[in-house]
A and B are shown apart, each in its own frame.
Chain A
């Protein structure tokens, strides 16, 4: 009897569980967390490693963090990709005649913003001074910060900073004395920063726009550390927004900085004179939802729950016509299409130290000629790319859309002739070549199969090898490869970022010249170009260098990516940001239009 009762109780408990679940679901539907009418809703696709500026090295983190941190300079929104504006700096720097001393005036009246009021009770921190910049740059140099960009931005450039780094390496973490003087990095007064370089660096001002060098407050770093926290998850900066809510791998909510000066390139006093429509940021809140899969955010975008997003590969044909225009039903829903050039370059690279590939130019030419770039882009990228015809992509100021490198085109007949030539050069027979891929996912497999089919048609036997990314990098570093599929995302909008991929001084690991390309003529011209200030002569030299690479073929470009973005028409002033930090501050949101459009959806 007792057992019967127990079983009955279990049965009723089970029923109660079902009823409770359904009721709770109904209640939660009724009391749905309302969507804030002032918030722009969008997504981010990859997890954030850190919001500490010195640790940021990826595009996703950098795109978001650029809204709450500011550097001395920024790239003009909607301007040329290389057009700089002073941000925390009040003007462009004074540069000494020898190009070694930079004097940066710092804007007065800019304060740190702490929206969660973790450090300062009213959420407003102290004024940003040159001392904060010195501190921030020293943080990047600190060995314990393990800043991935230190070698790109500061190493070998600022007098005494490498010695400071050596000192931090010998000192325990947390005991580093940030007051230790660095000869080349001095706050002359609260609003003057003097930087002495150990060699001329013509694009040094561009380097100061690198997010890793953004201003951080020593007080906030130290107080957060005392609480066992850090800027990694509690970022505090001076930008147009601040982080009000951050749940890793779930959501990031930014709120407008009420004390923001209204525009990045003016002083707070001038900002006070701006009209409400001129003042940035226009949008009061931005919510980024973490959506690593492509279909769920797509459905939510179609429901109007996201205001802007890219187009997933799987649904591309649903939104875009074969003529690359937006389908009428999408346009009728108030959706706009923007096609922007995405910075970067994807290519096949050759190991120039390899006995077969590196020493046989005809073979490299045959490979370059047998890549059907247009079909590759059409089949695997839904047409979202431009055929790579030279090493300078569209984000490079000197990009010429009509330029085609001598071998960076698809010509199977010419490729076959080159294969015959390559066989003679190799003594009659070519061995099976190996193509290294960065991963083993479907995309990489499809790319490799397509490329190898092209090589086969030209008479070459190439086998793909799929690696983990770590193993791929190891092979590149150790030059244990013949051909590798790779890509390059620019660090700054200057051709130099691409041309230095072939710098002989960077041919040893872990230098960026992973092809091992060494050409005395190229090197002499490159070294000359690297120290030249921007000028027509330098541009001519850059183009000459690019042509040398396109002829020698240590790499052959495959494609330059294009970004297709959809936005509802209640979102305005959305221009391709490319390098601009804090670009959402320029966007507008017509909340009334959105409310009306979403009624009944």
Chain B
């Protein structure tokens, strides 16, 4: 297994590098000079240059050969005030002192909009997104599985047909419409939940509730349909018929035998969803004014805040690759027949 993990980890490097290259190229094509926007419409070349320097955009795109020969200033000791040549290691470092390799080292430029380090913003906003996404995900996962097991055990019945129809209908509802409708009905009219906003501490729960309700409601259709299909495949398997022939109760059959064997798709779905939990729900955070990463991403796209968009894209790619690796490992736990080689 360790050899497999090592192999997969090594394979992640070119994948992440590819994502990084693509993201970097894309954003450098879209906005040749974001400093021009930040500096303002009438900024002089000097102001633009100062802004560029402040944003770290005065470095070359990929490689910095000019920096390799630049001497290093000595700031302390008897030779203070003089300069010395760079060592070989320093030269290598200077050669890669570029915007692309800054990005690869998670050294992101400041956000154009807020002029703050992107990592600082991510650290501040990730817990808020998680406070909405984790409960929403856990509640929906449990509800999806429970409903899927229930309707699958009654395949073809009125309940099964009704639930399937409801699921298809809910898939047809655009999420934005549902958010707005829930916000208006449950927040503005019935005043069951605050319409929008955020507080810290225990007060956060009341603001998180409506986005969680919406997220759970929206995920049910697709989730129940998916897990129902998976469960039905298992329900028609020989071992289930055997279990039933042995007189195992329907509840035990579904919960013990079927549920365990549908764990692989559950694990895949769960683990690969983890990176996206951190980055929040893009639409709901903006509509409910939750100061999380989803809202940040929308804001960044609207404001052409490329530092933030690049950082979020890159970090998501890294987490996604890690999540895929983790899901492979989890397969072995969920199903002893799977072994990693």
The CA-CA distance from A209 to B9 in the complex, in Å, is 59
**Minimum distance in angstroms from A427 CB to a CB of chain B:** 35
A424 at interface by CB-CB < 8 Å: no
> Taking A296-B288, A296-B289 as contacts, is the C-beta distance between A148 and B180 under 8 angstroms?
no
The CA-CA distance from A474 to B48 in the complex, in Å, is 13
Across the interface, do B206 and A29 meet the contact criterion of CB distance under 8 Å? yes
Q: Which residues of B are found within 8 Å of A21, using beta-carbon distances?
A: 135, 139, 205, 209, 212
A269 at interface by CB-CB < 8 Å: no
Q: Which residues of B are found within 8 Å of A291, using beta-carbon distances?
A: 196, 289
> Taking A28-B206, A31-B203 as contacts, is the C-beta distance between A296 and B34 under 8 angstroms?
no
Across the interface, do B114 and A248 meet the contact criterion of CB distance under 8 Å? yes
A339 at interface by CB-CB < 8 Å: no
Across the interface, do A28 and B42 meet the contact criterion of CB distance under 8 Å? no
Tell me the residues in window 147-168 of chain A with beta carbons closer than 8 Å to chain B beta carbons: 147-152, 155, 165
Across the interface, do B33 and A510 meet the contact criterion of CB distance under 8 Å? no
B37 at interface by CB-CB < 8 Å: yes
Across the interface, do A470 and B114 meet the contact criterion of CB distance under 8 Å? no
**Minimum distance in angstroms from A203 CB to a CB of chain B:** 16
Across the interface, do B40 and A148 meet the contact criterion of CB distance under 8 Å? yes
> Taking A292-B299, A295-B183 as contacts, is the C-beta distance between A49 and B203 under 8 angstroms?
no
A597 at interface by CB-CB < 8 Å: no
Across the interface, do B291 and A247 meet the contact criterion of CB distance under 8 Å? yes
**Minimum distance in angstroms from B261 CB to a CB of chain A:** 12
Could you say which interface size class chain A belongs to? 35 or more
Q: Interface 1/0s, chain A 347-364, versus B by CB < 8 A?
A: 000000000000000000
Tell me the residues in window 284-340 of chain A with beta carbons closer than 8 Å to chain B beta carbons: 289-293, 295-297, 299-300, 302-303
Across the interface, do B197 and A289 meet the contact criterion of CB distance under 8 Å? yes
Among candidates B36, B188, B255, B256, residue contacting A299 with C-beta atoms closer than 8 Å: B188
B221 at interface by CB-CB < 8 Å: no
Across the interface, do B43 and A293 meet the contact criterion of CB distance under 8 Å? no
A538 at interface by CB-CB < 8 Å: no
Among candidates A7, A296, A511, residue contacting B42 with C-beta atoms closer than 8 Å: A511
Q: Interface 1/0s, chain B 158-191, versus A by CB < 8 A?
A: 0000000000000000000000100110011001
> Taking A146-B47, A148-B40, A469-B37 as contacts, is the C-beta distance between A293 and B197 under 8 angstroms?
no
**Minimum distance in angstroms from B241 CB to a CB of chain A:** 20
Q: Interface 1/0s, chain B 29-71, versus A by CB < 8 A?
A: 0111110111111111111101101100000000000000000
Across the interface, do B203 and A33 meet the contact criterion of CB distance under 8 Å? yes
Tell me the residues in window 182-228 of chain B with beta carbons closer than 8 Å to chain A beta carbons: 183-184, 187-188, 191, 195-199, 202-206, 209, 212
A32 at interface by CB-CB < 8 Å: yes
Known: A151-B42, A299-B196, A303-B191; 8 extra A-B contacts, CB below 8 A, are A49-B113, A143-B46, A143-B50, A148-B39, A247-B291, A289-B289, A295-B180, A510-B36
Show 10 residue pairs from A and B whose CB-CB distance is below 8 angstroms, ordered by the A residue.
Answer: A4-B255, A17-B139, A21-B205, A50-B115, A55-B115, A146-B50, A293-B287, A296-B289, A299-B183, A300-B195
